[in-house]
Copies of this chain bind each other. A is one copy, B any other.
Amino acid sequence: MAAGKQVLLPRWLIPVQPEGAVLEDHAVVLDGGRIEAVLPADQLQTTPDCEPVPLPDHALIPGLVNSHTHNAMTLMRGMADDLPLMRWLEDHIWPAEQRWVGPRFVRVGSELAMLEMLRGGTTCFNDNYFFPDVTAEAAERAGMRAVIGIPIISVPTAWASTEDEYFRRGLDVHQRLVESPLVSSAFAPHAPYTVSNEAFGRIRSLAEEMDIPVHLHLLETAGEIQASIDQYGLAPLDRLESLGLLNDRLLAVHMTQLDDHAIARLARAGVHVLHCPASNLKLASGICRVADLDRAGVNVAIGTDGAASNNTLDMFAEMRLAALLAKGASGDPEAVPAARALSMATLHGARALGLDARIGSIEPGKSADLAAVRLGEVETAPVHHVVSQLVYAASRRQVSDVWIEGRRVLENGETTTLDADRILQESEQWRRRLSRTDQVSAGEAG
């Protein structure tokens, strides 16, 4: 599937590494899915069998890494909003999931999510949902890079009935993905309050052995801390440390409840924080102290969370919000400048996923996971500073082309590996099914 030689000629090239750099009049040479060279355009030797791709008013950036998703839930986008977390879950999301979640639901939901992400310049996602085998297959078919969570939760679902079954089925999925060029796996224990000490212990030793990350919702709300002390006699970070999980394998999602001590501890342990600002605000969970984490040297990546709570998978919006909120919440207008926000949405995500040797920046030897963004449009004119326009003004609808391992999966705004019409039709059928359940369960609850 990897393409042969290709040459891209963007107006601006933003390698991300080094942070803040902008190259003009440079060419990117791709070969066999890798970046072979980045060089001044006038040093380019024309090769007769390779017509360069002109990107005359575009910025070329590394593909965005959406570090926390629940892709199948895209089918529940906007099904229930403006509710407290528990009413949202208990009256809407869980009843719908109980009734409908299965391979067909997960396939269509994942496809809709990938369609949305590819159109918006996202080339890699880190997912956490049931039927990970289906999501993995869908990603492979779409040519999209992904880390697929192996869900572990002490609640029976259509995917597995017991913790044991979650492990067994999850390990099968992992096994199948070992040879996959684009898709790998991570453990995805749901949250401290839904996973037993025993399961966490198993995750620790298996994750080490398999050398994969542990992707966990953590410190999402204030209530979580007291609940953990009540049940385990330990706050969540203490409990995870006692279980040997507080280390650089841990991808901690949300983290809205942090004091200075906790921040220093995360920095020492090398824990990665996956920051989901829109979801945190919308559910009023709290605000992650990103400016302080960043200053302490913690690797902060950005994720959209699922579309049922966000309600988009828009990494441009999320990157901008992360940059704005870090300033507003810290009172420091210099916190998370534009170039740092772009790093968080690319290289930091790659680093969290253990993929930074392969993706996250535009450098020779890395995989050609790239997005071209038209900056010549009204909404980003005039272009005083390219990175600023990308982060603070551009929208994902300015993404024209996307490559993953050299394959052009979005061409002039159209996906080449996903059939948008068919996916929209199937999504609409799922909407009808879901809305019947949702009216019933919300009615019962009310």
Contacts and interface: CB of A to CB of B under 8 A. Distances in A.
A292 to B, nearest CB: 14
A77 B435 contact: no
B84 A385 contact: no
A310 B327 CA distance: 13
Interface string A61-84: 000000000000001111101111
B378 A324 contact: no
A379 to B, nearest CB: 6
Contact of A78 (B310, B393, B430): B393
A330 interface: yes
A383 interface: yes
A284 B327 contact: yes
A333 B85 contact: yes
Given A77-B393, A284-B333, A384-B78, A378 B116 contact: yes
A393 B395 CA distance: 13
A389 B282 contact: no
A333 B282 contact: yes
Interface in A306-332: 307, 310-312, 314, 317, 320-321, 323-325, 327-328, 330-332
A334 B83 CA distance: 5
The count of identical subunits is: 2
A85 B23 CA distance: 29
A348 B180 CA distance: 54
Nearest to A77: B393
A275 interface: no
Contacts of A397: 395, 397
Interface string A178-210: 000000000000000000000000000000000
A70 to B, nearest CB: 15
A337 interface: yes
A176 interface: no
A72 to B, nearest CB: 13
B112 A328 contact: no
Interface string A363-403: 00000000000001011111111001100110111000000
A313 to B, nearest CB: 9
A423 B376 CA distance: 12
Given A78-B385, A382-B428, A392 B312 contact: yes
Interface string A91-117: 000000000000000000000100110
Nearest to A308: B384
Interface of A: 75-79, 81-85, 88, 112, 115-116, 119-120, 278, 280-287, 307, 310-312, 314, 317, 320-321, 323-325, 327-328, 330-335, 337-338, 376, 378-385, 388-389, 392-393, 395-397, 420, 423-424, 427-428, 430-431, 434-435, 438
26 contacts: A77-B382, A77-B393, A78-B383, A78-B385, A78-B393, A79-B385, A81-B337, A81-B338, A82-B334, A83-B333, A83-B334, A84-B333, A88-B333, A115-B378, A281-B324, A282-B324, A284-B327, A284-B328, A284-B330, A285-B328, A311-B393, A312-B379, A312-B393, A381-B427, A382-B428, A382-B430
Given A310-B392, A381-B424, 6 more contacts: A81-B388, A282-B327, A286-B328, A382-B427, A382-B431, A384-B434
The 10 closest A-B pairs by CB, nearest first: A281-B328, A382-B431, A82-B337, A397-B397, A78-B388, A281-B324, A311-B392, A284-B333, A79-B384, A284-B327
